[in-house]
Structure 1
Amino acid sequence: MKFLIAILGLLIVFGLALLGSSDRKKVKIKPIIFMVIIQLILTYLLLNTKFGLVIINSIADGFGKLLEWANEGISFVFGGIANEGAAPFFLNVLLPIVFISALIGILQHFKILPFIMKWIGLLLSKVNGMGKLESYNAVASAIVGQSEVFITLKKQLGAIPPARMYTLCASAMSTVSMSIVGAYMTMIEPKYVVTAIVINMFGGFIIASIINPYTVTDDDDILVVEEGAEKQSFFEMLGEYIMDGFKVAMTVAAMLIGFVALIAGINSLFDMILGISFQEILGYIFAPFAFIMGVPISETVTAGGIMATKLVTNEFVAMLSLGDAAKTLSDRTIGIVSVFLVSFANFSSIGIIAGAVKGLHEKQGNVVARFGLKLLYGATLVSILSAIIVSVII
């Protein structure tokens, strides 16, 4: 039965992507089928084999060690603030972002990350039917983040046509940055975080190639990566990345305070007037999508509410909601919804990406702002597609 639902889900996702396609005649079927097969193989390897278990555990242990080191600095500054045995979200989940951001800066400074991003991107371009630029951008987005990635492309930003700009932005919104992966792993199972990051990359190519098909020639596909390390000393760079990490942590904290309080207030208001919470209403709206993702029908409303929460707020708020509802959900539903949540596909990301691009190139920033809703539409389909792929395997 799960295979029939998965096939139905894939047909609906591809159908919705075709509805939003700018040129249905240019859609290339062969690379799409090939990438879906790659997604299934990678998901099976990561979730259902000893090899995958070793990889997941190694990554989880690695981030666990990073969080331990981060906690040394956090304890030095904030030791004694928390009650004995307490685990405040801000201290344990958000502040480690500062240390991981510093680590990314070091790897960037010594040109280790640019090397990895460039060559993995070139390898991906051989299988996805897209250009080197798009492939590099997908890898880079998953490492440095959805806004920072455009800094690495600023030399050629003004020359990128709107069609390719859409694909670059869609990739950025469909992934997550390495600096907050550790935070995710404290909230949902690491195996689903890693799996989502890997298959979202291919999912972004699949959906973008349907919604926004085009052909790239070798002459058009020049990849110029701005590394920028030579402009700063090591300690200048380190200070900048540490402050950037702190800004990310504080921004997420502020958004959580605002959004969680707002949802609590709206839920209470709806419950008083209609006898049903706002999240439950959203749950009914998104329940059909939860069903085609393979969620058992008895749990689709709850799952749909969590999915909608992510779309209208952000993934952190939704992960908190998933944690609250976990006792009432099956392991299968938790796995499927967890994969759906691991991306930046929400309304606030439209402003973040458009703002980041506009800060580097005003004209291109306006281009991104114009296709903002279409960008979110595509990125949400990527999340649904990834969840469907995982539903076949678990």
Structure 2
Amino acid sequence: MYFLINLLGILVVVGVVFACSPNRRNVKWKSIGVLFVVELLITWFMLGTKIGTTIIDRFAAFFSWLIQCANDGTAFVFPSVMANENVDFFFSALLPIIFVVTFFDILSYFGILTWIIDKVGWVISKISGLPKLESFFSIQMMFLGNTEALAVIRQQLVVLKQHRLLTFGLMSMSSISGSIIGAYLTMVPATYVFAAIPLNCLNALLLASILHPVDVSKEEDVVYVPPKEEKKDFFSTISNSMLVGIRMVIVILAMVIGYVALTSAVNGILGFFIHGLTIQKIFSFIFSPFAFLLGLPKHDALYVAKLMGIKLATNEFVAMMDLKTQLKSLPPHTVAVATTFLTSFANFSTVGMIYGTYNSILGEEKSVVIGKNVWKLLVSGMAVSLLSAMLVGLFVW
């Protein structure tokens, strides 16, 4: 019975996103269907085959090494801080962004990352029939995370028309930063973290194509490639990447502090009128029907709904720390769907992060498209998290 409920949940999520779309007639259902089949095959491969689990283990090892390299740089400047057993969010999650952006810009400089994204993105675009740049961006998020991917394609974003910029904002709600995967792995099972990463990226493309379908002409359906004369020398490139990274750190830091503080203020106001009422509890109540649609028994569904409320109102770190304490007492299906759902940046703080990134890259005039469509970003982010969790849930019982 729970399997059928889980399957029904997939249809409900897609239906809700379709109902929220202001341009339903232009939805390309053939492309949506193809992407969905691809996701089912990917999920089966990752969770149902030995080769898939081996690949996940290798990715876990690579990212652990990458984060350690970033931490070595941070420890050189802040040795006493990094020597502590518990390292603050700023040092463990934000500062590594500087190195991650630089590392992947180096791969792009030598054409390695560009080649990978070009080939995989071309395959996704050909299979789905969706625009090339959007398809490529979904793959970039798989490797880079949302804000880092936006930074890497900053030259491409500058030449886009306003209506397409919203698509990248919607998709950016559904990724994670490579710099914090290591932190996730200390709290929740690696298998479901790495299963969520490609699913989130493809679901971001799938649901953005329903929520905000756009027609792209053949002339516009290109990936912007800077002319060779604009290519800087190696050391100028990596120096500029580091400066881009630190600017992103500052912007993200400001947005996270501001939105968490705002949540605290709202909770204080709500508690003044009704004792114990918080925005987290309100969101938990709202999302409880979707938690049941994950194929969970009543007790587990209420607990996962609580995690959903915590994630949306604050961030996934707070929710994961709660889940960590309950892992041994929860059945495999509940652990799988909860971990997959939490493995993304879909919350209010991320809206601020995306707006801040757009503002730093494109300027205030073009970043307005994010501020005017906050509700769409939230719908997209939460729907992607739900859909990814439901897909993983089909294969774990």
Q: Same fold (TM over 0.5)?
A: yes
Compared CA separation, residues 235 and 171, structure 1 to 2 (3 A): same
User: How much does 1:98 deviate?
Assistant: 4.4
- Correspondence for 2:391 among 359, 381, 389: 389
Q: Superposed, which structure 2 residues align to 1:161-240 within 5 Å?
A: 162=163, 164-226=164-226, 232-240=232-240
Contact 1:141 1:149 in 2 (8 A): yes
User: How much does 1:100 deviate?
Assistant: 3.4
Partner of 1:15: 15
For 1:81 and 1:369, how far apart are their aligned partners in 2?
Answer: 36
Compared CA separation, residues 243 and 313, structure 1 to 2 (3 A): farther
Compared CA separation, residues 254 and 294, structure 1 to 2 (3 A): farther
Equivalent pairs counted in the alignment come to 392
With 169-178 and 267-276 compared, the bigger mean Cα shift is at 267-276
Contact 1:171 1:205 in 2 (8 A): yes
Q: Tell me, what secondary structure is at the counterpart of 2:128?
A: coil
Per-residue CA deviation, residues 321-348 of structure 1 (Å, 9 max, x unaligned), is 3334445533322221211122222223
Per-residue CA deviation, residues 137-190 of structure 1 (Å, 9 max, x unaligned), is 22223334434544525356454251x333222222222233333333333222
Contact 1:2 1:391 in 2 (8 A): no
For 1:269 and 1:214, how far apart are their aligned partners in 2?
Answer: 41
TM-score normalised by structure 1 residue count: 0.84
For 2:319 and 2:293, how far apart are their aligned partners in 1?
Answer: 19
With 305-314 and 130-139 compared, the bigger mean Cα shift is at 305-314
Per-residue CA deviation, residues 74-131 of structure 1 (Å, 9 max, x unaligned), is 55544455778x3435455555444434422322332322232233212110122311
Contact 1:173 1:345 in 2 (8 A): yes
Q: Does 1:369 align with 2:371?
A: yes
Compared CA separation, residues 256 and 149, structure 1 to 2 (3 A): closer
Partner of 1:47: 47
Q: Tell me, what secondary structure is at the counterpart of 1:223?
A: coil
- State the AA in 2 paired with 1:286: F
- State the AA in 1 paired with 2:371: A
- State the AA in 1 paired with 2:285: Y
- State the AA in 1 paired with 2:291: A
With 295-304 and 227-236 compared, the bigger mean Cα shift is at 227-236
For 2:266 and 2:322, how far apart are their aligned partners in 1?
Answer: 15
Q: Tell me, what secondary structure is at the counterpart of 1:125?
A: helix
Compared CA separation, residues 306 and 130, structure 1 to 2 (3 A): same
Contact 1:101 1:179 in 2 (8 A): no
Q: Percent identical across equivalent pairs? A: 35
User: How much does 1:13 deviate?
Assistant: 0.7
Per-residue CA deviation, residues 2-21 of structure 1 (Å, 9 max, x unaligned), is 32112220121122112112
With 266-275 and 106-115 compared, the bigger mean Cα shift is at 266-275
Contact 1:128 1:205 in 2 (8 A): no
- State the AA in 2 paired with 1:88: V
Partner of 2:140: 140
Compared CA separation, residues 218 and 105, structure 1 to 2 (3 A): closer
Partner of 2:31: 31
User: How much does 1:134 deviate?
Assistant: 1.1
User: How much does 1:65 deviate?
Assistant: 2.5
User: How much does 1:393 deviate?
Assistant: 0.8
Q: Tell me, what secondary structure is at the counterpart of 2:127?
A: coil
Consecutive unaligned residues of structure 1, counting only runs of 5 or more, are none
The two structures, once aligned, show a CA RMSD in angstroms of 3.4
For 1:243 and 1:73, how far apart are their aligned partners in 2?
Answer: 15
Per-residue CA deviation, residues 3-49 of structure 1 (Å, 9 max, x unaligned), is 21122201211221121122323323332222222212111111121
Partner of 1:341: 342
Partner of 1:379: 381
Per-residue CA deviation, residues 242-265 of structure 1 (Å, 9 max, x unaligned), is 455556667767777777788789
User: How much does 1:213 deviate?
Assistant: 2.8
TM-score normalised by structure 2 residue count: 0.84
Consecutive unaligned residues of structure 2, counting only runs of 5 or more, are none
Compared CA separation, residues 168 and 75, structure 1 to 2 (3 A): closer
Compared CA separation, residues 260 and 222, structure 1 to 2 (3 A): closer
User: How much does 1:308 deviate?
Assistant: 1.8
With 262-271 and 54-63 compared, the bigger mean Cα shift is at 262-271
Compared CA separation, residues 272 and 355, structure 1 to 2 (3 A): closer
- State the AA in 1 paired with 2:390: I
For 2:326 and 2:256, how far apart are their aligned partners in 1?
Answer: 18
Q: Superposed, which structure 2 residues align to 1:248-263 within 5 Å?
A: none
